[in-house]
Amino acid sequence: MDFNTSMQISAIGMSNEKARIDVTSLNIANMNVPHRTDGAGYQPLHAVPREIGLDFLSTLSETERTTLKGQVDIVADTTSESRMVLEPGHPMADARGYVAYPQIDQLQETLTLMSALRAYDANVVAANVTKAMATRALDIGGQS
Amino acid sequence: MPLINPQLFTVARVGLDRAAAANQVMATNIANANVPGYTAKRIAFDSEINRLSADVDVDGLSPGDVIDTGETVQLDLAVAELGQNALRYQAIARLVTKELGLLSLAMQDGRR
């Protein structure tokens, strides 16, 4: 039985959760960056991980297999409306005194951070368990 | 009954293989825990392993079918199951070591 596959599955799991944390951090960092008056500006991002199948190693390209990357799609949310905040006198304010900010919910982003962190931990546990099993297999036939 | 039961090693091998396969499926569940729409998988083992007799065709045993439980992954349960499974693996590995120790003891005429 090949323990490498289990290990790589956990590694991809960790990499996926890290991508979610990256994207969430980016959203939080840009939360209060106003849109330009022509409407252009930061769009909230979503990390959408792809499902890892049991036979996933055969579905990966050579590069993906060596780097274990490319398992998360990062999608910009172009449909959400801007968050309008009344700040008259702000240099980016429109004619009515409103400034447009990206539609980012801080509570939601924080929850995503926490759930990604827990899932990352779980993947670390899984990798450690796999390692313990492989080590124990090496002990077979040793001093009992 | 011989001192060293050759069937034991065969059955232990199947047990180790199955625990390792289950570990892979559980690791996959954990890795996919936050994938939208993913449902937990598990391995359905047949009960062939229960018969510790000479006529069990070990190589013909299927490693177990992966079935879809249709439920979302519960991270805490998944990690607990993973630990349980690893414990089973370690127990079987320990058993093989003990059996080999017996064999070694017999070869040395009972001397350590």
Query: H or E element: which one contains B65?
Result: strand B65-68
Q: Is B86:A127 a contact under the CB 8 Å cutoff?
A: no
Most distant CA atoms of chain A, gap in Å: 81
pTM above 0.80, yes or no: no
pLDDT score for B85:
92
A87 pLDDT more than 80? yes
Complex confidence, ipTM? 0.71
Rounded CA-CA distance B112/B103 in Å is 12
Confidence tier at A128 by pLDDT (50, 70, 90): very high
- What is the model's pLDDT at position A109? 94
Q: Which residues contact A139 (CB under 8 A, 6 or more apart)?
A: B93, B97
In this structure, what are the phi and psi dihedrals at residue B72, rounded to the nearest 5 degrees?
-75, 160
Strands (E), chain A: 45-49, 72-76, 83-86, 98-101
Computed over its alpha carbons, how large is the radius of gyration of chain A?
22
Does residue B81 carry a pLDDT above 80? yes
Name, of A35-49, A112-126, B92-106, the range with top average pLDDT: A112-126
For chain A, the average pLDDT equals 85
Statement: residue A81 has pLDDT above 90: no
pLDDT band at A65 (very low <50, low <70, confident <90, very high): low
Phi/psi at B67 (nearest 5 deg)?
Answer: -115, 155
Q: Which of A45, A104, A55, A105 is nearest to A77 (CA)?
A: A45
The whole-number average pLDDT for the span A91-115 is 91
CA–CA separation, B25 and A1 (whole Å): 13
The conformation of residue A88, written as its DSSP 8-state character, comes to T
Q: Quick one: how far is CA A84 from the chain centroid?
A: 27
Distance from CA of A96 to the nearest CA of B (A): 40
Chain A residues within 8 angstroms (CB to CB) of chain B: 1-3, 5-6, 9-10, 12-13, 16-17, 20, 48-54, 56, 115-116, 118-119, 122-123, 125-127, 129-130, 132-133, 136-137, 139-142, 144
Q: What are the tens digits of pLDDT across the range B90-104?
A: 999 998 998 888 888
Q: So what's the pLDDT on residue A113?
A: 95
pLDDT of residue A126 exceeding 90, the answer is: yes
The answer on pLDDT for B70 being more than 90 is: no
B21 with A1: Cβ contact below 8 A: yes
Q: Do B73 and B38 meet the contact criterion of CB atoms below 8 Å apart?
A: yes
pLDDT in tens, B6-57: 778 888 888 888 888 889 899 999 999 888 889 998 888 766 555 555 555 6
